Structure 1
Amino acid sequence: MVHILYIEDEREIGGWVTKELTEKGYMVTWLESGEQIETHLKKADLAILDVMLPGLDGFSIGKRIKKENASIPVLMLSARTAMEDKIEGLSFADDYLTKPFHPDELVARIEVLLRRFQKHDDVLNLKHLTLYTKDMRAVHKKTGEEIQLTGKQYYLFQFFIRHLNQILTKEQLYEGVWGETYIEGDKTLMVHIRYLREKIEQNPARPEIIETIRGIGYRVRG
């Protein structure tokens, strides 16, 4: 699971962002200042920093994080919209998002940064499968047999893995894999998920990897 270190002193915003990210499947450590970052930094896959903080501001904390570990992506959040502030932020940070923002935009930017810094593990254990995420190879642990995924099965499974632990709606899956707007009643997605389950599940009638979230969509747990 991706671990996000989030520093925000405004409790209403901090609580809202933490709730949104947790519901999307991320593990979030929320701090109200940068005093205790050393305790959490080693476990963090990504840092989100507000600019205006008590004590050290977000710019100073971000520069310190990058100095200690340049491989941790840093995303700055700020109500400051002046070009000078953005330029200063982007002189060391990897992205800069101005308030107010939609949670979906924040998640999209997080995903882009994680892909850029390759923070997802190369090897992932999913129930009876060992998954090599770089080339999306799935191997059955007991038999050692490699499971061949073709066409849309491959891209569909890849989309699930990129959004591990997140509940994905039919609309999100269809638009993410087919690049088109989902039309209610279209059975294409359901058929491809059935074919994918037949290949990766031990018992496709009782799937353990691709969960059906009734009334919403699907989820793959890590």
Structure 2
Amino acid sequence: MNRKVLYIEDNLKIGSWVKEELEQRGFTVQWLQSGEGAEQEVNRHEIVILDIMLPGLDGFTVGRRLKRAAPAVPILLLSARTSVNDKVDGLQFADDYLTKPFHTDELVARMEVLIRRRSGTYPGRILLGTHIEVDQQAQTVYDKRTGDEILLTGKQHQILMYFLRHPNQVLPKEQIYEAVWEEAYITGDKTLMVHIRRLRQKLERNPDAPEIIETLKGIGYRVKL
């Protein structure tokens, strides 16, 4: 079965190489050299590969428009930019971020993860630590030790689901805050920290020694799967 990819890249050399590599691996690739017309095409595809540096509208603007037009279609950003700020900006709407130069094996591996996640071929339940189980379809959280559902507030639930959409990734606090609250993070704001602490109280066996939501001092947080 051919898997359809919308690929947006203005560099002819890179674009030709990536398109050829993907087609050799069984993908059907529609290659656009700018974001023009992409919103009309996105729902026909299983995944979008989007370069940030584009003529006219940049990749950030194009990506936000595509995510509004087709929220369920995953977006994989490609960029030569490596700064944390660029990654934070990109992951506000994108599902993954790959820096150039890259090997096509890594590109395809990341694509496969995003496509499987979208199609629901991942297990219906995710185990966090040794005792927390998340039912992705029902959007519910359980304590395996008791079988009881753990009730989360709206923001706690959004934070946890954001972590699960970015498993094993170190997420800067600014990125999490802006994705969940949909407003700019103000340096020194403790709102996210308070919500993380309360979420840990519900999920962790020992909130003072968390095993599920890790803190990376000075950087942010990570949930390992």
| Superposed pair shares fold, TM > 0.5 | yes
Pairing 1:1-222 to 2, within 5 Å after superposition: 51-52=16-17, 57-58=20-21, 60-61=23-24, 64-65=26-27, 81=33, 94-98=47-51, 101-102=78-79, 104=87, 105=90, 108=94, 110=96, 114=115, 116-118=118-120, 120-127=122-129, 128-222=131-225
How far apart, CA to CA, are the structure 2 residues paired with 1:140 and 1:214?
Answer: 28
- Offset, 1:93: 6.9
2: distance between equivalents of 1:220 and 1:200? 12
- Structure 2: give runs of 5+ residues left out of the alignment: 1-13, 54-77, 82-86, 98-110
Residues 143 and 170 of structure 1: CA distance in aligned 2, closer, same or farther (over 3 Å): same
Aligned length: 157
Moved over 6 A (4+): 89-93
C-alpha displacement of 1:189? 0.6
The answer to which structure, 1 or 2, has the higher relative contact order (CA under 8 A, 6+ apart) is: 1
Q: Percent same amino acid at aligned positions?
A: 40
Over 3 Å counting, the alpha-carbon distance change for 1:165 and 1:109 in structure 2 is closer
Alignment TM-score, normalising by the size of structure 1:
0.58
> For 1:120-145, what per-residue CA distance to the aligned partner results, in whole angstroms no more than 9, with x for missing partners?
43211111111112232111122111
CA distance in 1, matches of 2:211, 2:191: 22
Q: Report if aligned partners of 2:95, 2:166 keep a CA contact under 8 Å in 1.
A: no
From the superposition, tell whether residues 206 and 96 of structure 1 become closer, same or farther in structure 2 (CA, over 3 Å): closer
Q: Which has the larger radius of gyration?
A: 1
Gaps of 5+ in 1: 1-48, 67-73
Which TM-score applies when normalising by structure 2?
Answer: 0.57
